[in-house]
Structure 1
Amino acid sequence: MDEKKLEEELKKIWDETPISHSDTEKELSWQQFQEKAFASKKQKNKSWRHYAAAAAILLFVLIGSGLYFSNSSLLNNSTISIAGNTIENTSSFIKSIVLPDSSKVELSPNSKIVYADNFAVNRKVEVSGEAYFKVKKDKQHPFQVICNETTTTVLGTSFTVTGYEKKGVEVALFEGSVEMSVKDQSKKWILKPGEKFTYGNETAVVAEFNRFVDFDDEKLSNVSTYIESNYGYKVMLPEEYKNQKITVRINKKEELKTILELISEMYNLNFEVNENLKQITFQ
């Protein structure tokens, strides 16, 4: 690729990058980048290292703008369809997402989220459907989830938001604290862990819900069944451990890895996860 063509391609990518500046500022920054990357037309024999450096600078800009996502999850490693800053789950599985600020989202099937370009300073997410959030703490930039007419404001916590079209909204708090507000209403609601906020037909209600699953002197195989039903992994236990008794309380939104490590410690077992078979083997 010749220099002019390379420059045109880089300019195209630059313009598509969602940097939180005006068009004038973006054009000025491009000119500054252009002067450094393609400094002198008189240098006829530029090495390809020079172009590699230009591409590396642009790559740094792309990463800084939040276009690159980490999507490694014990629950599901399938790719997610990303169009701009909209993430939609059209599959039949829960999708795990890491936002640019390192907050985590478990997006339910037939659901989507939309977030701002300058997410580092404008941590707002719009939800359609159902999503579970584990928010990265940042006291300087509160995290807000907008769903229909409600706004959930948090500093660092975990909660679910459910709202399809205009059928109302439900926010269930598992950890931390959140403040609820409704469009055109001055009243605020502060939720504590184990409380659920429901809004529909212009009426808001706060009630308690059970955020735990209790196993009281039950067979370990019952925990295996719970994992399969809620996380989609079949659990293989050594025959002699299936009737072992266990007493444990599990947060309904606990990470699967935490549950597996707990069982491993309690019974001195090792475990292996086979993502292809969706199977967990203890031995």
Structure 2
Amino acid sequence: MQNYSGNIEFFTRKLAGELHSEELQSFAEWLAASPENAAEFAEFESIWNGVDSIKHVTRFDTEVAWYRLQKEISEQKTVKKSFRPLLAAAAIIGVLCMSWFSYKLFFTKSAELITVTTAMHNTTDVVLPDSSMVSLYQNSSVSYQPTFETERRIQLQGNAFFDVTHNPQKPFVVEINQVRVQVLGTSFYISHDTISGLISIIVKTGKVAVFTYGKADTAYVTAGERVDVLQAKKLTKSVNTQVNYMSWKTKVFDFKDVPLKTIVAEINAAYFTNIQIQGDELKNCKIHVSFQNKTIDEILEILQVTLDITIHKSTDVIVISGNGC
């Protein structure tokens, strides 16, 4: 597995949305490998999100420096103009490096953020200082101050459901990969696909405001709606049709005319099982079925009766086979 610890250039490319699919996959594996990896990148991301004014000044200084250098070039004819992008990139990366190491040196110990992390195949509920509740999905983390004296600001990595205590005087802000979600008191779900970079916010109750980095794009989302954003760019709002988005927490499923392959995928995500289907015809069988707080064995029994299928269980996998619909 590739080690990205301390790789500031790679972190910068990730936050700028410049990684290709193979790099995103490799980076996602590194993030999931340990809480320390996720925490290291989260620290750098917070620096990146906070240096907008620094980067602006850097661009200005780079232009001045380039103007002076260009003047010398015209006199000495020794340097080519093609170095200009490299100088600008070097200046920005230099500022990020200084910010990164300054943060590590001066703020890591004093910030005293509380961070809760879930491992693979684990979920947990976190009660925040204002009594708001965060339900973390597997391979996720949430960081926050021990008290919310001046603000209610949360840093999220991964997927989580938020049930926020109402407080008009202190907006509740969740930051995730250059996307900001701000509410006063509501409930909503955030998911982040680290491979594609897609972030989705689904509102269960109330209303939320969603901003991309620098407020380049803004969307106001109400109950029953969702907004999707890819690589922290344009926000796309729509009616939410993902009925079972909270099934991993509630263990309540409602499927209406849904292919068996979709049902199995959602069950695997909620119960951390490895159920596989043999045969394309069986995979595409559409059925109506609901489950409420059932065990995985009870769910399999219901599917077996509904579709007349055969189920074979082993240590690592559950195989469903049959003739189809």
TM-score with structure 1 setting the length: 0.45
Question: Which of the two has greater helix per residue?
Answer: 2
